Amino acid sequence: MTGGPLVVLVGPMGSGKSTVGALLAERLGAPYRDTDADIVAAEGREISDIFVEDGEEHFRALERDAVARAVAEHEGVLALGGGAVLDAGTRELLAGLPVAYLSMDVEEAVRRVGLNTARPLLAVNPRRQWRELMEARRHLYNEVARVVVATDDRTPEEVADAVLSAL
Ligand code: S3P
């Protein structure tokens, strides 16, 4: 098969999608692309502003369009936003692709991301919100993933190695 992404990274915020994605791109000699960045560029505003001004549902629709474009055009490493898998249309777009789920447990998420208010979904009580977020999404990440790589005790280099040997 030719064309399409070489690797698609999914997983919660803070799981290392962009860091690992950049490393993978370097190792594969392929370009890196990130749908969050595509959306910010296309909209000319930050994701947190899209959430506040137009709501999450609108953001998910923009994200689905961004994923559709990237999946059709991008022959490299592609990282998706942490909530992209919530949308059924987005999940369908990932069918048959080499998707790696970078998993992370709740305590590690609290340590890594904690109360980062630049991330619009974690404004209050981060531990409880992380628990709920993981419970709501874990099965969706698993559903789209061809491989699952636990990131908790691994450096980004080790995660990249694990993705490459598993795919
Ligand atoms: C989101 C994760 C973010 C971004 C948006 C929503 C989420 O992406 O798409 O803030 O719902 O988990 P990262 O996972 O790249 O931070």
CA dihedral 17, 67, 51, 36 (to 10 degrees): 40
Q: What tens-digit pLDDT sequence spans the chain (167 residues)? A: 457 899 999 999 999 999 999 999 999 999 999 999 999 999 999 999 999 999 999 999 999 999 999 999 999 999 999 999 999 999 999 999 999 999 999 999 988 887 565 555 556 677 888 899 999 999 999 999 999 999 999 999 999 999 999 99
Instruction: Set out the domains of the chain in order of their start, with CATH numbers.
Output: 7-160 (3.40.50.300)
121 lines ligand 1 (CB under 6 A): yes
Predicted local confidence at residue 20, as pLDDT:
98
What are the structure tokens assigned to 12, written together?
A: 């919660």
What are the structure tokens assigned to 46, written together?
A: 């930050």
- Which of 13, 53, 117 has most ligand 1 atoms within 8 Å of its beta carbon, as the pocket-test mutant? 13
Binding residues for Mg(2+): 18
Bridge partners of 103, per DSSP, are: 150
What are the structure tokens assigned to 105, written together?
A: 């447990």
- Which of 34, 36, 122 has most ligand 1 atoms within 8 Å of its beta carbon, as the pocket-test mutant? 36
Predicted local confidence at residue 3, as pLDDT:
78
Å from CA of 1 to ligand 1 middle: 30
